[in-house]
Amino acid sequence: MAIIERPTPVAPVVVTPTETYGLLKRPVSSTGWRSWVFTVDHKKLGIMYAVTAMFFFIVGGIEALLIRLQLAAPNGKVLNADLYNQMFTMHATTMVFLFVMPMAAGFANYFVPLQIGARDVAFPRLNAFGFWALLFGGIFLNLAWFLGGAADGGWFMYAPNSGPVFSPSNGVDFWALGLQIAGIASLTGAINLIITVLNMRAPGMSLMKMPIFTWMITVVQFLLLFAVPVITVALFLLSFQRNFGARFFDVAAGADPLLWQHLFWIFGHPEVYILILPSFGIISEVLPVFSRKPLFGYPFVVFSGAAIGFVGWGVWAHHMFASGLGPVSVAVFSVATMAIAVPTGVKIINWTLTMWGGKLWFTTAMKFAIGLIVLFTVGGLSGVTHSIAPSDTQQTDTYYIVAHFHYVLFGGAVLGIFSGFYYWWPKVFGKMLNEKLGSWNFWLMIIGLNLTFGPMHILGLQGQPRRMYQWTEARAGEGFFNLAFWNLVASIGSFILTIGILFFLINVWVTSRNPQKAPLDPWNARSLEWMTSNPPKEHNFDVIPTVHHLDEFFHRKYEEDEATHTMKQITTAEELIAEQERNADKHIHMPSPSYWPIVLAFGLPVITFGLIYSYLIAVVGGVIVLFAAYGWSLESSTAPESDFENPNSSTELVKHG
């Protein structure tokens, strides 16, 4: 156990545990790589999630660039047809499951406990397990590149393309089993965050006083909780078909290939809200702060978010309008899809009215937030055109669809994530990202993404199918609708977009070398995560705050002037935090680090690897999992009092594992 002395939380004193649990002694380091690998701290895990996601963002980005290079000119020679199939399959899989979802998980992990005034999550070890399972699952998915080729059936892997006849390599096996592991990670993460929000809120924080980001994350976690098992079923059916000879998608045996499509999209449609709602949450935090106004219609934003989450369960078949569902199903799902535009529209109106009449401060974070509102609206409108089934039949499997979902995902989810980077960077790392580089970052990304995805509307309506690996000059058409021209524009755009993202990475590097520390409350923020030091201490808050208001932190800094009915500042963040430090809780027990989460998570890819190559390896994996499960359940999440050795007689100690 390490015991950290106040007030210098950087000087750890390592002591030996007097008691051991299971077979291994508890890890004790609080610095160095061990402090990260065995950590259960939600902040460290949040950073690890984000770094992992950023890595996969770059991987997926390189895959995207290769796709655009291939399509830049007629008869592309960069990739062959087979490799092209693998490229677009893995691009989508990586971006959805290994970039946006983990990035949102990173933000959620870091900020939800801080926003609700908690010291950690409900299940710290489960949290760590979720991260490692995600990382190992992601690595496992990408191992296929080196072992005979990656998955090549498209990210929704329709039968019969997913079968051994059309996908003979092990790619689809790696894909199905890797997503299974990532699914376990999402499920444990969802349970953890839901219980954290339900049960760990600071005194006084009722659900309707929760920061909006936390609300949106909560909706997302419920979607994950109920959507992940559906894809789990689908993936099991697929794996059983490929590896054990089941007949689920075998038309010769009388199977219905639509079974896969339904199961995939029952998961897949909630999934798109899983991708976008965290970013909605982020900009709902950013917009009020930089408009110097409270969020307009907070309850409406909350309920519309919940409504999107709920109605999102009843619209999945709009991905299947072209599959011959029958007129009744098409009509029902078409109407439901139009209905879901309503709560989304409510949100857009609320954001706009938040800015209306505010003293706008155009920081990079704010620019990205406004970028989201504009570009998501574009993507949302093309989405409404899909809800009209006859029009959708025309658009299905064309670049128009590609344009739509890139506007909502890149223009929506990714811009929101970047807004979050700029807004919360000083909170997490104690330094401000460079605003000038940020401006370059923003504008190049905006120009790049519109040049890349804008022309795809035209390409799609002209009939260019998605997933086509080459196009020919002879069939490119003429004039304004010439495919060659717009394909080239899109490819150039993708490189501008890449340069924009490079500016972000440069910004991170420049910022890390800049010795200047960020002020405590650089944006004059509103919610609880700012009511602690930058970066927060290991135990988050010296005193657990008692909450009286929505935007508690703002209401502690400001009071309404009786005479003029304006808000006037009564104290500063520095004073508030200094006061907390003076009244700091004594004896704060933090959850202790543990070996078991990473060991348990490591067992999973060993099992799945064994399922593909040799059952003997799978048995070894099973033994690892069982061993870790016993170790885990025999170890208490927080080491008991007797486990701590007091290095000195000081009573003011913060103990952690």
Partner 1 sequence: MSTETVETTHQKEHGMSDAGYIRIALILAAITALEVATYYVDFGPLFLPALLIMMAIKFVMVVSYFMHLKFDNKVFSFLFYAGLVLAVGVYAAFLATFHFFIR
Partner 2 sequence: MAETAHGHVGSTGISNVKLGMWAFLGSECLLFGGLISTYMLYRGRVTGGPRPSQIFDIPFTSVSSFVLLMSSLTMVLAVSAAHKDDDRKTNLWLTVTALLGATFVGGQVYEFTAFYKEGLGFSTSLFGSSFYTLTGFHGVHVTVGIIMLMSLVGILKRSSVPGKKAEVVEMVGLYWHFVDIVWIIIFTLVYLIPV
Q: Which partner, partner 2, partner 1, none, binds residue 557 by CB below 5 to 8 Å per kind?
A: none
Q: Which partner, partner 1, partner 2, none, binds residue 375 by CB below 5 to 8 Å per kind?
A: none
Q: How far is the CB of 586 from partner 1 (least distance, A)?
A: 16
Cβ-based nearer residue to partner 2, 18 or 472: 18
453 close to 410: Cβ distance less than 8 angstroms: yes
110 close to 46: Cβ distance less than 8 angstroms: yes
Q: How far is the CB of 254 from partner 1 (least distance, A)?
A: 13
CA distance 17 to 656: 12
Structure tokens given for 624: 């690892």
Cβ-based nearer residue to partner 2, 162 or 192: 192
Cβ-based nearer residue to partner 2, 75 or 583: 583
Q: How far is the CB of 229 from partner 2 (least distance, A)?
A: 4
Kindly tell me the burial class for residue 199, based on how many C-beta atoms sit within 10 Å of its own C-beta (0-12, 13-18, 19 or more).
exposed
Q: Which partner, partner 2, partner 1, none, binds residue 55 by CB below 5 to 8 Å per kind?
A: none
Per the rule left: phi > 0, alpha: psi between -120 and 50, beta: everything else, 594 is beta
Q: Which partner, partner 2, partner 1, none, binds residue 207 by CB below 5 to 8 Å per kind?
A: none
Q: Which partner, partner 2, partner 1, none, binds residue 586 by CB below 5 to 8 Å per kind?
A: partner 2
Q: Which partner, partner 2, partner 1, none, binds residue 329 by CB below 5 to 8 Å per kind?
A: partner 1
Q: Which partner, partner 1, partner 2, none, binds residue 65 by CB below 5 to 8 Å per kind?
A: none
Q: Which partner, partner 1, partner 2, none, binds residue 275 by CB below 5 to 8 Å per kind?
A: none
Cβ-based nearer residue to partner 2, 391 or 637: 637
Structure tokens given for 346: 């409510």
Q: How far is the CB of 309 from partner 1 (least distance, A)?
A: 11
Q: What is the residue type of 213?
A: F
Q: How far is the CB of 222 from partner 1 (least distance, A)?
A: 8
The alpha carbon of residue 433 and the mean position of all alpha carbons in its chain are separated, in whole angstroms, by 21
Q: Which residue has the tokens 């990202």?
A: 433
Q: Which partner, partner 1, partner 2, none, binds residue 237 by CB below 5 to 8 Å per kind?
A: partner 2
Looking at the DSSP bridge assignments, the partners of residue 569 are: 558
Structure tokens given for 56: 């996969």
Q: How far is the CB of 198 from partner 1 (least distance, A)?
A: 6
What's the CA angle centered on 442, arms 373 and 551, to 5 degrees? Answer: 55
Looking at the DSSP bridge assignments, the partners of residue 558 are: 569
Of the candidates 295, 186, 162, the one whose C-alpha atom is nearest the C-alpha of residue 240 is 162
Q: How far is the CB of 313 from partner 1 (least distance, A)?
A: 6
CA distance 227 to 265: 10
Q: Let me know how many helices (H) and strands (E) the chain has, helices first.
A: 20, 6
Q: How far is the CB of 265 from partner 1 (least distance, A)?
A: 10
Cβ-based nearer residue to partner 1, 313 or 558: 313
281 close to 517: Cβ distance less than 8 angstroms: no
Q: Which partner, partner 2, partner 1, none, binds residue 317 by CB below 5 to 8 Å per kind?
A: partner 1
CA distance 602 to 409: 31
Which phi and psi (to 5°) does residue 298 adopt?
A: -45, -50
Count of residues making up the chain: 657
Burial 109-133 (b: 16+ CB within 10 A, else e): bbbbbbbbbbbbbbbbbbbbbbbbb
Q: How far is the CB of 203 from partner 1 (least distance, A)?
A: 13
Cβ-based nearer residue to partner 1, 141 or 234: 234
Q: How far is the CB of 7 from partner 2 (least distance, A)?
A: 17
Cβ-based nearer residue to partner 1, 392 or 551: 392
Q: Which partner, partner 1, partner 2, none, binds residue 100 by CB below 5 to 8 Å per kind?
A: none
Q: How far is the CB of 332 from partner 1 (least distance, A)?
A: 8
Q: What residues line the site for partner 2 (CB under 8 A)?
A: 21, 118-120, 122-124, 126, 187, 190-192, 194-195, 198-203, 225-230, 232-234, 236-237, 240-241, 244-248, 250, 252-256, 259, 263, 539, 544, 585-591, 630, 633-638
Q: Which partner, partner 1, partner 2, none, binds residue 326 by CB below 5 to 8 Å per kind?
A: partner 1
CA distance 49 to 553: 27
Cβ-based nearer residue to partner 1, 221 or 304: 221
Cβ-based nearer residue to partner 1, 29 or 637: 637
Q: What is the CA radius of gyration of the chain?
A: 25
Q: How far is the CB of 589 from partner 2 (least distance, A)?
A: 6
Q: What residues line the site for partner 1 (CB under 8 A)?
A: 194, 198, 222, 225-226, 230, 256, 258, 262, 266, 313-314, 317, 325-326, 329
Alpha-carbon dihedral angle through residues 357, 360, 366, 369, given to the nearest 10 degrees:
10
Cβ-based nearer residue to partner 1, 12 or 257: 257
Which phi and psi (to 5°) does residue 363 adopt?
A: -80, 170
Cβ-based nearer residue to partner 2, 198 or 502: 198
Of the candidates 414, 427, 283, 422, the one whose C-alpha atom is nearest the C-alpha of residue 355 is 283
According to DSSP, the β-strands at 558-560 and 567-569 are antiparallel
CA distance 626 to 228: 23
CB atoms within 10 A of CB 186: 27
Cβ-based nearer residue to partner 1, 256 or 645: 256
Structure tokens given for 10: 């950087």
